[in-house]
Homo-oligomer: A and B are copies of this chain.
């Protein structure tokens, strides 16, 4: 720890990052005194390269975290993480979303198409090699290209050295430090168990990001490998994967004040970003998203009310948008409540003073803050139009699939290392597989509506601000009938037809005369320009951010924990309530009794009858929490989590499974920007509720036995 005592007063913002904050990178655990913190384990029990450790039980699954809980590849994760798999298995006839799913035997398990399980094998620091390559030039676009090149080279070398593994490079501090991770990917994943949605998503969007919570947000999947034990695509002959390590379940759970920790894959945080970033987010980007997502949700809910088949099709999309929509509102509320923008502005002002106070620093960092501001200013000025371009592809699966096809034609014509990453050989299968998944869940009337709305917004811009391909389209009623014709004519909804086009040369694709492929081709140069701008702007910002973090750490007199970036992290804390507002205290456990009280019988508080019946006997259950005199449902703790930590195992001091992380409290949506011991609380399921549901609601004896309960 570097100390710069003369500046301690100046750099007050250092104090804002409390001691409890921390998503510690897995390779930095040895610096921590875990025993002192109350662990009954040492850091080496959690992660030691080339040894069997707890970390081997914790996987990334579909953007979430999961953990192995049996020697037969059984994985515990959230209901919302497996949602798309349950949705795809469901139909009007077999509504597994509504009724739940339980495969009593291996043969009944349902392929979770599109899901992969990623296991972290090892990691090493590759900062030096990358910085050498990048610093060979000063022009931003060239730096960006040099970085892409060295990434691809390092990855190719590592994968060659470790056959069957995938290498990925994670930026720990932007433009500053980099780790190369080796992963095993398992691609045959199957759905084993999902509770009825009235348990798994009890409270729905109304309770999402809210405490007190009574959601049974869990599901079980299973990873399979080829008969030779190596990763393999789905095949009937595959066998369950035998994990190196799996978690032991401790059904006594935790009590208020107990230590707990989480291993998981938190996605992204922005704790070390400058005020200008927060200004951009809070004044431009988030309000734009809140408005557009809110509108889409409203329209999709209208469509869903008319037909249960449509409702199933749109459910995953609505859930995803609604989750972000409410999260952003929580962030905007939190930013206002905490005055966070002003606080960051004050920090940056302190930093400017710290820089100015020393001529060497002034020389090196004198223009830093102004340069950062200029970067954001540039994005800001073109924001509206750029965001419309993003939304255009996002509005329609037909258009975005057409775009992917057209891109595949162009990219596959290049040598592998020069391709856009999604089209490199190592990623090609997944990119191709996603195409039918997107097309099969497409509901054309929805696409038609949103595509029309975004095009109308473009048409409202001055003609010279419109992309060429859009300027050529008619407007008003004529545009509407043109789009109707597109949807009538396009063959893309036939996903087999679409799939056979993947990778065909661009001219051949154009010959199909599919209107969406034609439109995508017309828009392509526009998106290329947008990508070029973003690449240069972020390369520039990255360089600036490296300096920013460097000087900010110097000013604070301590090293920062790197922001979350999807790599394996450890966080710990305690089971603890909080005061969300004046005169209100939230206790850290909810109960089955409280869930029954909340149950109105109408969506989203619609517990299944099987649960209501079982609940009558719950006082006699072996899963009662004696402090509460009832089966506990959810719990609250002051650990440091973010999106991606969904499905993370909550572990006790001995590393035993006692819960399942799935959400944060509303006040903690702001976690991504700042941490506070007062309000940063995450929400998990108590393992006793999971066991109670499996035992007393679903009579899933086979699973309980497999889990050793």
Contacts and interface: CB of A to CB of B under 8 A. Distances in A.
A173 to B, nearest CB: 35
Contact of A586 (B214, B337, B583, B589): B583
A666 interface: no
A337 B337 CA distance: 33
B590 A594 contact: no
Nearest to A589: B583
Contacts of A589: 583
A464 interface: no
B582 A584 contact: no
Contact of A585 (B582, B587, B594, B598): B587
Interface string A565-588: 000000000000100011111111
Contacts of A587: 583-585
Nearest to A592: B582
A594 to B, nearest CB: 2
Contact of A584 (B337, B585, B595): B585
A668 to B, nearest CB: 16
Interface string A188-226: 000000000000000000000001101000000000000
Contacts of A583: 211-212, 577, 586-591, 594
A57 to B, nearest CB: 30
Main secondary structure of the interface of A (DSSP, over half): mixed
B584 A584 contact: yes
Interface string A304-339: 000000000000000000000000000000000100
B597 A337 contact: yes
A704 B594 CA distance: 48
Contacts of A597: 337, 581-582
Contacts of A588: 583
A598 B581 CA distance: 9
A593 interface: yes
Contact of A582 (B337, B577, B591): B591
Category for how many chain A residues contact B: 20 to 34
A593 B582 CA distance: 8
A211 B587 CA distance: 17
Contacts of A594: 581-583
Nearest to A633: B582
A47 B448 CA distance: 76
A212 B582 contact: yes
Nearest to A577: B583
A201 to B, nearest CB: 18
A60 B377 CA distance: 64
Nearest to A337: B597
A70 to B, nearest CB: 32
Interface in A155-214: 211-212, 214
Nearest to A211: B583
A21 to B, nearest CB: 23
Contact of A590 (B582, B585, B595): B582
A215 to B, nearest CB: 13
B212 A581 contact: yes
Nearest to A583: B212
A110 to B, nearest CB: 34
A586 B580 CA distance: 11
The residue in A337, A583, A587, A594 that gathers the most chain B C-beta atoms within 10 A of its C-beta is: A583
The residue in A211, A582, A588, A593 that gathers the most chain B C-beta atoms within 10 A of its C-beta is: A582
Contacts of A214: 582
A300 to B, nearest CB: 27
Nearest to A591: B582
A619 to B, nearest CB: 16
Nearest to A596: B582
A525 B45 CA distance: 90
A80 to B, nearest CB: 21
Contacts of A577: 583
A299 to B, nearest CB: 24
A450 to B, nearest CB: 31
A667 to B, nearest CB: 12
A62 B214 CA distance: 45
Contacts of A586: 583-585
The residue in A585, A588, A590, A597 that gathers the most chain B C-beta atoms within 10 A of its C-beta is: A585
A582 B599 CA distance: 12
Contacts of A593: 582
The residue in A581, A588, A593, A598 that gathers the most chain B C-beta atoms within 10 A of its C-beta is: A581
A344 to B, nearest CB: 20
Contacts of A212: 581-584
Nearest to A585: B585
A476 to B, nearest CB: 32
A340 to B, nearest CB: 15
Interface in A218-249: none
A218 B341 CA distance: 37
Nearest to A595: B582
Nearest to A336: B600
Contacts of A582: 212, 214, 590-591, 593-595, 597-598
A338 to B, nearest CB: 10
A587 B580 CA distance: 12
A256 to B, nearest CB: 11
A586 B591 CA distance: 18
A589 B583 CA distance: 6
A337 B593 CA distance: 12
A666 to B, nearest CB: 14
A707 B480 CA distance: 73
Contacts of A591: 582-583
The residue in A589, A591, A594 that gathers the most chain B C-beta atoms within 10 A of its C-beta is: A594
Contacts of A584: 212, 584-587
A607 B435 CA distance: 55
Contacts of A595: 582
A214 B211 CA distance: 22
A595 B581 CA distance: 10
Interface in A432-491: none
A575 to B, nearest CB: 12
14 contacts: A212-B581, A212-B583, A581-B597, A581-B598, A582-B590, A582-B595, A582-B597, A583-B587, A583-B588, A583-B589, A584-B584, A584-B585, A585-B585, A585-B587
- A-B pairs, 6 with minimum CB distance: A582-B594, A212-B583, A585-B585, A583-B587, A583-B590, A582-B590
Given A212-B584, A337-B597, A585-B587, 5 more contacts: A212-B583, A581-B598, A583-B586, A583-B588, A583-B590
